[in-house]
Amino acid sequence: MTVARRHPAQELAAWAERIGAAATDTDETALQKRLAVALCAGTLPLTVLWSAVYLAMHVPVAAAIPAFYSLFTPVNTVIFAWRRDLGLYRFTQLLLILILPWLVTIALGGFRQSSVVIIWAALCPLGSLLLEEPRRTLLWIVGFVALLLVTALLQPHLTPANLPDTFVTWFFVFNIGSVIAITFGLLHYFVGRRNFFQERSEMLLLNILPKEIAETLKAEPRVIAANYDGVSILFADIVDFTSMAAAMTALKLVDLLNDVFQCFDELVDRYDLEKIKTIGDCYMVASGVPRPRGDHAQTLVNLALDMQAEIGKRTFGGRKLAFRIGINSGPVVAGVIGRKKFIYDLWGNTVNMASRMESHGQSGVIQVTRSTFELVGDEFDCVSQGTIEVKGARQLEAWRVVGHKHTDGWVPRIPC
């Protein structure tokens, strides 16, 4: 088997990831460390070349300045890998990137004879923009502009180095082209990593909140609440879960619940419904929020039958499980409240009665209220359970859903 070789830029990024990294680093800190090492160590081949060329052109002072950077940076990077002090590493390297090109400019006699080598100092505020807070970047920008002004004032008093015009011209190309290439490379990497983190954050947010609610909160963080007249709510609960959990290790119990809920999640996605939350072994789903739909009750009963079928034909954690499922339909209030660790939740008597249908149900039974039966009775075989005594409602009529009356238009079941 052949192993694909990575691009040199990818190799550099992978190497930079390991320098100064700590397990406690946030995504932002880890990205800043990678960029800092990539910027500072990644320019070493150029500074070595820079120094060698100037030495060959018999300007030793100008050659010594990039040589100093070429020697200092590896030592500083090793210290950074040992101490993991990003602040010190970042400051010392940015200071060198700002000052050293200016010193080369002075040593060679000004802007023209140095082939505007001071443009390398522009990497200092750029690096600061990627690695630091914006207010600190402003200071580096001021420093860069100040050095430009000082050089312009000193220009008439500087002695130009004796360099051929052809050399000066080609070093213009080298300096400007290299800085632009490095700038685009850093920005490309930064934007790519930023987009990766944003996509991951977006995915996590959409796993917590419905898309419509997430978009609203991102635009304007506030309390969200809305009334919905036609909604169906489903609760599903494992029968004898407490006694089963007492005989299992914590890890096996979590693995079992994860297996069950992943199966249910796939079915919920298949029907474009909204998983609201899980509470212990209880699984709650809503149909008709935040996107109203006329078939909210029928779709939720279809989901319940598919859940029941999947539960019956497979094991979870090596065990056969039985569930109670309860459904109710009616008006609810839905929204997001609070400022921390918020969730999209539903309130109202409709939710309470759906929970009672589950808790007062029987093993392996889908139990629905009259309000749901009146919406689905034409499509599903339902058997009357008579009246049951429910806390908060006294006597409540209930029906047991047996199956479909016909198969026309029935959506094929999708296994987990």
* Catalytic sites, residue numbers: 356, 391
Measured distance CA(277)–CA(271) in Å, rounded:
17
| 322: nearest Cα among 234, 262, 244 | 244
Q: β-strands 380-390, 394-404: how paired? A: antiparallel
| 114: nearest Cα among 66, 48, 169 | 169
Measured distance CA(336)–CA(276) in Å, rounded:
12
